[in-house]
Copies of this chain bind each other. A is one copy, B any other.
Amino acid sequence: MESGHQEITMPATQADEYQEIAWGVQKFGEKFTPFYINRPNVGPKQVKFKTLYSGVCHTDLHKVKGHFGPGNVYPYVPGHEILGEVTEIGEGVTKFKVGDHVGVGCFVDSCMECEQCEEDYENYCDKGVTETYDHVKKFGRVLGNKDMRTWGGYSGSNVVHEHFCLTIPKDLPVENAAPILCAGITMYDPLQNHGFTTGKSRTVGIVAIGGLGTMGIKIAKALGHTVVAISTTSAKEQLAKDKGATHFVASKDPESIKAMANSCHIILNTVAANHDINTYMPLLKKGGVIVQIGAAPAPHSISQIPLMFNRQSIAGSLVGGIKNTQEILDFCAKHQIWPDAQMIKFDQIDWAFEQLETNNKDGIRFVIDVQASIAAG
């Protein structure tokens, strides 16, 4: 296949599987359509749930469209911000009972034996985490046809090992909880790892005020920090301040950078396109860290002398483990914060992708109302 991707024929449903509706892309480059996939029947330690909501992440767009390179397998069903209601539990399940709200994020299995897994960083599993969609089933906790890859959350139901299922607190609105499973943990995890979830109030910079950025502002503020929102121009100043930012920097304006120079203890940089990290370094305090969160392919030119003289760090972060994901869900429930979500139905997925591709001016997360989509048939 010219694109470097692979197309397969959906196999017959096995004896240990059932059929389920999904919305995905049948062949590389095509639009979304509904079709049937096979899901595994419930086994020991497995949790089956009816999907209520499925968030639409910018990464879904990148992956479905093959932006990260060749190797996709089509039909392709994305979705890794999944919110459901438990309908059946397997033998030995202790975390859930039928009727509970349950969440599944970016991955559904990992080796559970390596140093990363043991330290609750399943997302960095040394043997390679099994992502929620388009990933090979390696470790045995995703049941059903072993030759098929994982299918994502744009689908009517799912069956996942309970370790990889999150408990959704009762006082979180289920339609808004879905994006916490990716956007929320993505912004919380670096704050947790770099010591910003305990201790005194500090100053947190957030670069790019989209879906990740607005959620970052809310979390950092709820943690008691002062937030500096950073965007190329002042177009998003009001939005950022409405979400809780105290200060705003228009990064294309040297005077604006200068006004907030040496102010941030940490900067969460969510820019997902190529950029020059040195634009933001002057905003960092001595002892500060800038965490790169977006998948920017072009390398940065970084001088180590200012890193040394200012005791600064450049770090990377990619979602988070199950423990921290549960922590941010509980934190969001306690502080009554969540991503701004706009409900869509399955026939609006292509339209939502277009919005994400142009400019997410309102910092909104699109969320598929799965049951309404099924009802709309």
Could you tell me which A residues sit within 8 Å of B by CB distance?
115-116, 119, 121, 124, 126, 193, 262, 277, 285-287, 289, 292-293, 295-297, 299-318
The contact of A287 among B121, B295, B306, B308, by CB within 8 Å, is B121
**Copies of this protein in the complex:** 2
14 extra A-B contacts, CB within 8 A, seeds A115-B285, A306-B316, A311-B318:
A119-B287, A292-B304, A296-B305, A299-B301, A299-B302, A300-B303, A300-B304, A301-B302, A302-B302, A304-B314, A309-B316, A312-B315, A313-B316, A314-B314
A124 CB to closest chain B CB (Å) equals 5
- Indicate if the CB atoms of B316 and A308 lie closer than 8 Å: yes
Report which residue of A126, A303, A305 has the largest number of chain B beta carbons within 10 angstroms of its beta carbon: A305
- Set B116, B286, B302: member contacting A286, Cβ < 8 A: B116
Q: Name which residue of chain B comes closest to A202, CB basis.
A: B115
9 contacts across the A-B interface (CB closer than 8 A) = A116-B286, A116-B287, A121-B287, A295-B305, A297-B303, A299-B304, A307-B314, A311-B315, A312-B316
Residues from chain B with a CB closer than 8 A to the CB of A312 are 315-316
Give every chain B residue within 8 A of A124 (Cβ-Cβ): 286-287, 309-311
Contact of A313 among B116, B285, B310, B313 (CB under 8 A): B313
CB distance from A129 to the nearest CB of B (A): 10
Q: Contacts A307-B292, A316-B306 known; A300 to B297 CB distance under 8 Å?
A: no
- Is B308 within 8 A of A292, CB to CB? yes
> Smallest Cβ distance from A323 to chain B, in angstroms?
14
Complex Cα distance A119/B115, Å? 32
**Chain B residues positioned under 8 Å from A292 (CB to CB):** 304, 307-308
Say yes or no: B317 contacts A193, CB within 8 Å: no
In the complex, A300 Cα to B303 Cα: how many Å?
Answer: 6
Q: How far is the CA of A299 from the CA of B312 in the complex (A)?
A: 15
A303 and B313 form a contact (CB under 8 A): no
Distance of A183 from chain B, by nearest CB (Å): 15
| Pairwise interchain contact B126-A286, C-beta atoms closer than 8 A | yes
Task: Kindly list chain B residues whose C-beta atoms are within 8 Å of the C-beta of A310.
Answer: 124, 316
Q: Which of A119, A277, A289, A302 has the most CB of B within 10 A?
A: A302
In the complex, what residues of B have CB within 8 A of residue A316's CB? 304-313
Q: Is the CB of B296 within 8 A of A304?
A: yes
